[in-house]
Amino acid sequence: MSNYVQRFLLENLDIRGAVVHLDSVWQQMLSGRNYPQPVTQLLGEMSAVTLLLGENLKQAGRLTIQMNGSGPVSMLVIDCNDSLHIRGMAKCAQAIEAQPLSDLLGHGQLLLTLDMPSMRESYQSIVPLDGDNIAELFEHYFKQSEQLPSRLFLITTNTAIFGLLLQKLPAADQQDPDGWTRAEALAATVYDQTLFDLTAEEILTRLFYEETIRIFDAQTVHYGCQENPARIYAMLRALGREEVDSILQEFGEVVVSDDICNREYRLDALAVDAVFREAGPTVH
C-alpha cells in the first residue's frame, strides 16, 4: 500500500508541484460509509487538496477544511495534522446523481481553519466557491493565497486517490516562455494513464519525459482515526454525573457517536460508574 505526498521541481522550467496518492488510508476512510459516488468523488478530491495544503505545515498544528451547504451534500469535513494524519466524513442525501459542485452544495460555504499551539486563536479563511469542481475552486484559491498560477488534476476511485499540483514560479517565463503551457498540457494526460501502481518518480518521468525533474523525499500519510476512550471519558465527566445518569436511566446505556471516525462508544451502568472513578472503564 502506498500513501504519500511528494514534492517535485521541473528545474529547467521553474515550475514546482506535488503528487498525492492514497490507497489503504482512503479505503479506511470510506469503510462502512456507503456514500453515493458523487460524494465519494467530492470527499476524495477534498482529501487530496487537504494533504497538499497540510504538507506545508512547518510546525505542530491541524488544518481543517469544512464545507456546509443547503443542497444534497449538507456537510463535508476533512482535517489533517502536521504529521499528515488525515480523517474525514460527509453528511449527504442517500441518493445523489452526478452534478456540478454548486448544485451539490446549494447555498454553501467552504472554510479553512488552521489551529496551532503557537497561535493565540485559530486562523480561518473563507474559500470563494468560484468554480464548477474542486480543482477549479482551489486553483483560484492557490492563485489568490500564494500569488502563483496553479493547476490541479484530481482522480478518485473507490480504492485510491491521485492528485497532481503544478505551480508556476515567478521566473518561469524567463526560463522558458512556453514552459507553463507545455507542462499543463502534459499534466492533463494524467487521466489517460494507469497510475495507481506506479511510484511518483515513474509517474513524473512518464508525464514530463523531456524535463529535468528534482524529486524530494516523500511524506507518508496515515489514517487519523485511532480509538481514544480517554477523550470520551473526559467529555462525560465534563457533563457531570447527574446528567450522565439521567441519560443512562432514560436509554439504558450511554452512546457517544464519533461521526468523523464512524465509530460508536457504548457505556452501560458499570462503565459509567467507572468513568467517575479513577480507573477508566472498557467501552465497546
Give the span between the Cα atoms of 179 and 202, in whole angstroms. Answer: 21
Domain hosting 258: range is 229-275
pLDDT band at 232, cuts 50/70/90? confident
Q: In the chain, how many domains are there?
A: 2
Q: Which CATH number goes with the domain that contains 219?
A: 3.55.30.10
| Same domain for 105 and 147 | yes
Which of 181, 199, 223 terminates a domain? The answer is 223
Report the C-alpha gap between 281 and 271 in whole angstroms. 5
Residue-wise pLDDT for 105-153, tens only, equals 888 889 999 988 888 888 888 888 888 899 999 999 888 888 899 999 9
Reply yes or no on whether the pLDDT at 282 is more than 60: no
The answer for residues whose C-beta is within 8 angstroms of residue 259's C-beta and 6 or more apart is 89, 91
Residue 225 CA to chain centroid, in angstroms?
Answer: 13
238 and 178 part of one domain? no
Dist. CA 152–CA 130, nearest whole Å? 14
Residue 81's closest CA among 220, 263, 258? 220
Res 186 pLDDT > 70: yes
Same structural domain for residues 116 and 240? no
The grid coordinates of residue 220 equal 507518508
Give, in order, the Cα–Cα distances in Å from 283 to each of 105, 131, 156, 240, 267: 37, 45, 35, 18, 6
Q: Is the pLDDT of residue 256 over 50?
A: yes
**Same domain (yes/no): 60, 131:** yes
Q: Is residue 280 part of a domain?
A: no
d(CA 51, CA 171): 26
